[in-house]
Amino acid sequence: MLEARAAVKTLHAYRPPLAGRQGLRLDFNESTIGCSPRVLARLRSLDAETLARYPEREPVEGEVADFLELKAEQVLLTNGVDEAIHLLCSTYLDPGDEAIIVVPTFAMYAIFAQAEGARLVQILSGENFAFPLESLLSRISERTRLIAVANPNNPTGAAVACEILWQVAIAAPQAAVLVDEAYFEFHGETILRQSARPANLFVARTFSKAYGLAGLRIGILAGDAGQMAMVRRVASPYNVNAVALAALPEALRDQKYVEHYVAEVQRSREVLEQELRSLGLHYWPSRANFVLIRVGTAYAEFIQALRARGILVRDRHTDPGCEGCVRLTVGSCEHTRALIEALRDVVEKLALQREVRA
Ligand SMILES: Cc1ncc(COP(=O)(O)O)c(C=O)c1O
C-alpha cells in the first residue's frame, strides 16, 4: 500500500478557517479595501493570448529587483511567501536537520520544515513577546540549517530590530536565516536596506497584505545571488502565474495607493489600541495590520458574538503564550469604526472587562 513519508504522516494539518467568510473579514490580515484600481484595470485588459502562453517570470523579476534596489539574480518571485518558505526548506533542510522558530509565529515555517523531516526547535518568546535573542543563540548547533523569523511577527505584532536579526545570521552561517517581512509596509523597517548582508540571510515580502493581492498569490524571496541560484533550482519555472505577473508591475507603480492605505491602517491601529485601553481589554502594541488581544476564557463567545454582528476575527488561543487570545485585523478607518462599535457592544454583553481586570 502506498504510504506517505513518516515526516508527512506525523504533520499536523493546518486548516485555516476559510469557509463561510461572509461579513467584514478581519481574520486573515488581508487588505479590507482591496487592490489599486489600476491593478484591476490591468487585469481587465488581459487577453486570451496572455493566458495561452506559459508565464515569463524574469522580466517582472527585473522590475521587482529595481524596485528593491537589488540585482535581478538576488530576487525570486514566488507563489506567495508560503512558497518562498517551502523553497527554502527544500533547498537547505535534510532529514534530521534542525529548524529554529520563535513561537508564537506564522504556522507555515513549522509545516514546511517538518515536511522535510527536519527537527523543529521552538523557542518561546520573552515577556510580552519580546524577541528571545539569548535563548535563540544558545540553541544554534551544527545541525541548525534554517532559522525563520517573521518581522513584525504574526500573531503578536511585535517587531525586532534589524541589528538583532543580523546578529542571528552571523551566529549561524551554516543556516538559512529567513526574515519574513510580510508586514513590512505597516512597520517601515527592513533589513534589506542594509548593505553587505550576510550570504545566509534571506528576506521575504508579500503582495497579500498592504497591496491587497492575497488572491493572486505573489511574493518575493530575496537573498545572496549565489544562494538564490540554488533556491531557483528547486522552483518551477512557472511557479507564478501570468495573471499575477501582469498585475505586479502596475501594483508597484501605484505606490500612492499602497502608501495611502498603509497610512490609514496606521491611524486606525492607533484608534483601535486607544479603544482597547478604554474598554479595559489587554492588547500588545502592534507594528503590523492586526492587534492581538487577550479576551480570557470567554474567547469563543467573544468570537461568536462578533460573528453574529458580521465581523470575523481570528481565534489564536492555541498559539504558545496566547491563552484566551484573539487577533483583530486592522483595516480602513471605516472598517475599524465598525469593529469598535461591535467591540463595545460585545464587551458589555459578555461583561469582559471584569474578567480581564480580575
Ligand atoms: C508572517 C507571514 N508570512 C507569510 C504569510 C503568507 O504570505 P503569502 O500570502 O504571501 O503566502 C503570512 C500570512 O498571513 C504571514 O502572516
Q: Tell me the three cell numbers of residue 183.
A: 508586514
Distance, C-alpha 72 to centroid of its chain: 23
Measured in angstroms, how far is the CA atom of residue 29 from the centroid of ligand 1? 9
Measured in angstroms, how far is the CA atom of residue 181 from the centroid of ligand 1? 9
Return the ligand 1 atom nearest residue 84 CA: 11
Average pLDDT on 93-99 reads 98
Q: 342, 356, 335, 344: which is closest to 29 by C-alpha?
A: 335
Share of the chain above pLDDT 70, in %: 98
The answer, yes or no, to whether residue 14 has pLDDT greater than 90, is no
Distances (CA, A) of 93 to 101, 194, 280: 14, 27, 45
More confident residue, 185 or 22: 185
Look at strands 325-329 and 282-284 and give their pairing: unpaired
CA distance between the termini of the chain:
56
The answer, yes or no, to whether residue 355 has pLDDT greater than 70, is no
Measured in angstroms, how far is the CA atom of residue 6 from the centroid of ligand 1? 27
The answer, yes or no, to whether residue 15 has pLDDT greater than 90, is no
154 in contact with ligand 1, CB cutoff 6 A: yes
Return the ligand 1 atom nearest residue 105 CA: 1
The answer, yes or no, to whether residue 349 has pLDDT greater than 60, is yes
Ligand 1 pocket check: which of 82, 248, 330 to mutate, most ligand atoms within 8 Å of Cβ? 82
More confident residue, 11 or 358: 11
289 in contact with ligand 1, CB cutoff 6 A: no
pLDDT tens per residue, range 284-322? 999 999 999 999 999 999 999 999 999 999 999 999 999
Distances (CA, A) of 37 to 47, 64, 116: 18, 20, 40
> Residue 259: phi, psi to the nearest 5?
-60, -40
Share of the chain above pLDDT 90, in %: 93
Predicted confidence at residue 216, as pLDDT, reads 98
Which residues touch 152 (CB under 8 Å, ≥6 apart)? Answer: 158, 159, 183, 186, 187, 286, 287, 288
Predicted confidence at residue 352, as pLDDT, reads 78
The residue whose CA has the least distance to atom 7 of ligand 1 is: 81
The residue whose CA has the least distance to atom 4 of ligand 1 is: 81
Predicted confidence at residue 354, as pLDDT, reads 52
Measured in angstroms, how far is the CA atom of residue 80 from the centroid of ligand 1? 7
CB 288 within 8 A of CB 180: no
219, β-bridge pairs: 78, 206
Name the least confident of 19-28, 48-57, 329-338. 19-28
208 in contact with ligand 1, CB cutoff 6 A: yes
Predicted confidence at residue 358, as pLDDT, reads 37
Radius of gyration of the chain (CA): 21
**Residue 128 backbone class (left: φ over 0; alpha: ψ -120 to 50; beta: rest):** left
Average pLDDT on 117-146 reads 98
More confident residue, 14 or 217: 217
79 in contact with ligand 1, CB cutoff 6 A: no
Average pLDDT on 22-31 reads 95
H-assigned helices in the chain? 6-9, 37-44, 48-52, 58-68, 80-92, 108-115, 133-139, 162-171, 184-187, 225-234, 242-253, 255-279, 299-308, 333-349, 352-357
Predicted confidence at residue 357, as pLDDT, reads 44
Average pLDDT on 315-341 reads 97
Measured in angstroms, how far is the CA atom of residue 204 from the centroid of ligand 1? 9
Per DSSP (E only), the strands in 89-218 are: 98-103, 119-124, 144-150, 176-180, 201-206
Average model confidence (pLDDT) across the chain: 96
pLDDT tens per residue, range 150-174? 999 999 999 999 999 999 999 999 9
Number of Cβ within a 10 Å radius of residue 196:
5
CA distance 253 to 259: 12
213 in contact with ligand 1, CB cutoff 6 A: no
Measured in angstroms, how far is the CA atom of residue 108 from the centroid of ligand 1? 8
Ligand 1 pocket check: which of 25, 28, 81 to mutate, most ligand atoms within 8 Å of Cβ? 81
30 in contact with ligand 1, CB cutoff 6 A: no
Predicted confidence at residue 20, as pLDDT, reads 79
Measured in angstroms, how far is the CA atom of residue 223 from the centroid of ligand 1? 18
Strands of the sheet containing 219-222, edge to edge, are 75-78, 219-222, 201-206, 176-180, 144-150, 98-103, 119-124
Burial of 311-346, coded b for 16+ CB within 10 Å and e otherwise, reads bbbbbbbebeebebbbbbbbbbeebbebbbebbeeb
156 in contact with ligand 1, CB cutoff 6 A: no
200 in contact with ligand 1, CB cutoff 6 A: no
